[in-house]
Amino acid sequence: MRNDLDHLPASKQRELERVVEIIFEEFRGATENATGPRKGARILKIILFGSHARGDWVDAPLSANQYKSDYDILIIVSQKELTDRAAYWAKAEERLIRAYTIEKTLHTPVNFIVHSLHEVNDGLSHGRVFFMEVKKDGVGLYEADDRELATPKPKTPEQALAMAKEYYAKWFPSADAFHASFKFLTERGNLNEAAFNLHQATERLYSCLLLTLTSYTPYNHNIAFLRSLAEGLDRRLYGIWPETNHRERAMFQKLKEAYTKARYSTHYKISEEELTWLGERVEELGCAVHQVCSDKIAELEAAARQ
């Protein structure tokens, strides 16, 4: 795996150094009083993957589609217990968001996933495309030792096709069912419940695409993160969520917050007009996901016939 960032501008190299510093500072804070088996908790590797690792990132917030590639980071830890996001990583996530949105000390959004070394190597040995591409294209930002990740064992074309079809057959109808519930609840005037169901439709559409294309999706309900990973895989997803003004950006944020706040917060409010606008965007997302996944399955079918 490469460990140089020479393909990135100096400003981005400095930003990534700061990102790594923040991750370590917050990890130390979360584990400093650990006892028992977690006393030896360690970060083993930090890997940059996605567009900034490959070199095809987009950094054009003033363009028509307002798209800006995130930094995608994989953190590999010594124990599976350390992958618990709420227990060990919530503060790091909050701090990175604050650095980008409020303090402006970072000029690129940061998304990260956390897995144990065993999970990553298991994904490689089972031929999961996501982990294979991380190993192939990823750039090591930190390594506690020089142990290589497991050798990938790609699936046969027939196995890859069967897996993609299985994921699509499960997740796309699930998204459609939540979208139907959203429309029913909106008509009844149960707007907060409708917002939650629309969030779930969105989450499942992104998970459908990620699983169909890479046989992986993170255990994360953050649709902004899932959106970033999905848009990094196919540019046909760009522009589905307009960001030409504050209102449009706030609308996506309101949908993102619906997972928790629409169910539990008395302060969460959403109008029928807002739901209609968001519902139209999710319908467009569904069409794009259907097309991208259909094209991928057709590609796998062609490979399996050869």
pLDDT of residue 144: 92
Strands 43-49, 139-143: pairing kind: antiparallel
Of 183 and 146, the one with more pLDDT:
183
What tens digit of pLDDT does each residue of 119-140 get? 999 999 999 999 999 999 999 9
Domain ranges of the chain: 10-143, 157-305
d(C-alpha 206, C-alpha 264), whole Å: 24
Q: Determine the CATH number of domain 10-143.
A: 3.30.460.10
What is the tens place of the pLDDT at every residue in 131-173? Answer: 999 999 999 999 997 788 999 999 999 999 999 999 999 999 9
CATH architecture type of domain 157-305: Up-down Bundle (1.20)
For residue 244, the model assigns a pLDDT of 82
d(CA 252, CA 280): 12
pLDDT value for 137: 95
Confidence of residue 237 (pLDDT cuts 50, 70, 90): very high
Question: Is pLDDT of 38 > 80?
Answer: no
Q: How far apart are CA 111 and CA 222, in angstroms?
A: 10
Distance separating alpha carbons of residues 87 and 273, to the nearest angstrom: 37
- pTM, two decimal places: 0.90
CA 124 to chain centre: 19
pLDDT for residue 36: 60
Q: In this structure, what are the phi and psi dihedrals at residue 114, rounded to the nearest 5 degrees?
A: -130, 130
Quick one: pLDDT at residue 183?
97
